[in-house]
């Protein structure tokens, strides 16, 4: 249930960028998240799998692990099999609306 709610909230963030300017900003923000997480992929298991990061997109804060974000945001180069030693319960995402 929690994953469905999080997915819906992230979907709201994505859909809210209907205006082209906002879509460009969101695309660049997600690009930054993807770049940061990709740089950790296969290099730092703690940072990628369990360390939470906070990103702000259109005044909406998204907090989560790269592992969790990779499951919700398209175009991630997911670190397949990289987080096996960590519990799934450590995969977190939260959304804080303004």
Q: Record the pTM.
A: 0.64
Looking at the DSSP bridge assignments, the partners of residue 60 are 57
pLDDT band at 8 (very low <50, low <70, confident <90, very high): low
Q: Mapped to the 3 state alphabet, what secondary structure does 15-57 carry? A: HCCCCHHHHHHHHHHHHHHHHHHHHHCCCCHHHHHCCEEEEEE
**Is the backbone of residue 93 left (phi > 0), alpha (psi -120 to 50) or beta?**
beta
* 78-95 pLDDT per residue, tens: 787 788 888 877 677 888
Minimum mean pLDDT range among 36-50, 55-69, 78-92? 78-92
The one-character DSSP state at 87 is -
């Amino acid at each position: 249930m929690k994953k469905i709610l999080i997915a819906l909230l992230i979907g709201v963030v994505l859909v809210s960028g209907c205006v082209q300017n906002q879509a460009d900003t969101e695309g660049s923000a997600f690009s930054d998240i993807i770049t940061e997480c990709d740089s950790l992929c296969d290099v730092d298991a703690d940072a990628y799998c369990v360390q939470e990061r906070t990103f702000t997109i259109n005044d909406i804060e998204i907090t989560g692990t790269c592992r969790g974000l990779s499951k919700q945001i398209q175009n991630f180069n997911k670190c397949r099999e990289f987080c096996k030693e960590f519990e799934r319960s450590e995969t977190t995402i939260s959304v804080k609306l303004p």
